[in-house]
């Protein structure tokens, strides 16, 4: 009799355990499942801003640019303009990196975006002027550098760019 009683209790324990666990496995909606039983929310694309600090991409891009890793900075800034399309720093870095690797078609598109954001500023004119200097288009570069100089005659970058352009005219590479 004791053995029969023990067997009946042992049979009830797994049933009781299953009855306690199953309510925790219920979902509110039957169509809310993705592969492997995860909820469909795990498949939503949250890659745009969720995993980046505010300035992480731009800081990393600046570091790579300073280290003269222009290909890496180009890739980082390319991602930065996707993640932060309204940030002029991302577009400036992207345009400058594209210039340094000779992707002038890409830098032209970036400068078009920048003209809407910071179009009438010494920073914009210095950068687009330097782009034309790299292409060998000295008259256009000079025109942009002079626009930057008119806006801010004390800007050291503008003075250096004008000097660099003067040296480019004097000492042409052969």
Identify the DSSP state of 33.
B
User: What pLDDT, on the 0 to 100 scale, is given for residue 42?
Assistant: 45
CATH class of 56-170: mainly alpha
Output the tens digit of pLDDT for each of the chain's 174 residues: 666 666 666 665 665 555 555 555 555 555 555 444 445 554 454 455 445 567 889 999 999 999 999 999 999 999 999 999 999 999 999 999 999 999 999 999 999 999 999 989 999 999 999 999 999 999 999 999 999 999 999 999 999 999 988 887 766 554
The token pair that represents 141 in the structure block: 């570069």
Task: Establish how many alpha carbons lie within 13 A of residue 77's alpha carbon, considering only the half-sphere containing its beta carbon.
Answer: 28
User: What pLDDT, on the 0 to 100 scale, is given for residue 168?
Assistant: 77
Q: How far apart are the first and last CA of the chain?
A: 109
Global pTM exceeds 0.85? no
Q: At what angle do helices 88-100 and 56-66 cross, to 10 degrees?
A: 30
- Which residue intervals of 101-137 are DSSP H helices? 104-118, 122-135
Cα distance between residue 161 and residue 132, in whole Å: 11
Domain chopping of the chain, boundaries:
56-170
Is the distance from CB of 155 to CB of 126 less than 8 angstroms? yes
């Amino acid at each position: 009799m004791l053995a029969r009683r023990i067997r009946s209790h042992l049979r009830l324990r797994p049933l009781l355990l299953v009855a306690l666990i199953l309510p925790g496995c219920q979902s509110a909606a039957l169509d809310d499942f993705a592969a492997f039983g995860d909820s469909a929310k795990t498949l939503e694309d949250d890659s745009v801003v969720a995993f980046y600090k505010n300035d992480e991409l731009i800081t990393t891009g600046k570091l790579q640019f300073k280290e003269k890793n222009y290909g890496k900075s180009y890739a980082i800034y390319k991602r930065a303009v996707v993640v932060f399309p309204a940030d002029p720093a991302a577009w400036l870095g992207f345009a400058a990196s594209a210039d340094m690797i000779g992707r002038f078609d890409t830098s032209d598109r970036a400068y078009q975006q920048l003209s809407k954001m910071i179009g009438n500023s010494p920073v914009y004119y210095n950068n687009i002027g330097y782009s034309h200097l790299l292409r060998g288009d000295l008259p256009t570069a000079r025109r942009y550098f002079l626009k930057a100089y008119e806006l801010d005659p004390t800007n050291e970058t503008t003075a250096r760019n004008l000097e660099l352009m003067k040296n480019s005219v004097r000492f042409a590479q052969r």
